Structure 1
Amino acid sequence: MTEASRRRPEPHRVLLTLHGHLRARPHEVFDAIARRNDPGERARSRFLADSRAHLVVSEGGRWYRGEYRVVADDDGSQVTHVILDVSRGQRPLGRFSGRAVVERAPGEFDRMLRQLRLELEG
């Protein structure tokens, strides 16, 4: 597995941004999101789990980059999930391939937050 970059590649286009809140400490939320998204050592995708920045990045295929950021607030943690098209010179490919991913993302994000609430808030 190759490590993903902390910086967004250029060019990129934000396809979707989702926000949620958990009543849990940022490092606990970050650890849980990193565990869920880690593709393992044999994966062909790129992955980064930066515990200091509370940033998880997954990159795969020719177009996909997903970022999770966890930020502390007065009542726990704000979680932001961003899906980006990072295809280089192949914009129609990213737009076409990404449609299904973007359509499924809100439901998958909500499911993940529900699971994390059960795991971390209970």
Structure 2
Amino acid sequence: MRAAGFTLLELLVALAVFALLVLALLHLAGQATRTAALLEEQWLADVVAGNLAVAATLAPAADLRAGDGSTALAGREWAWQREVEPADTGAFVRVELRVRRAGSPQVLAGAELLRDAR
């Protein structure tokens, strides 16, 4: 007559399956954390781009030039570039904005707008 219970081999297999499941869940949690951090950074860069677009819309046309600079938002430093060129019609200028984290080459957000050239 066989004793009730699990053999050592059965326990080791169950433990191995459980360990693989835990590793998969930890990997998934790490991915979710990295994705959330990236989305937060892109969202903040988009806020900076939106603020710069509003400033470009409200600025006098004579003061609107291509250039670059930096601004702080949410305790982080953001580098931006602005390009200004005439649109197909002479009455408008096209303004393109690109925002990246200061010191990083990757563009995280951008905006384009047309505004009156006068």
Normalised to the residue count of structure 1, the TM-score between the two structures is 0.30
Larger Cα-atom Rg: 2
* Structure number with higher relative contact order (C-alpha < 8 Å, ≥ 6 residues apart): 1
Q: Which has the higher helix share?
A: 2
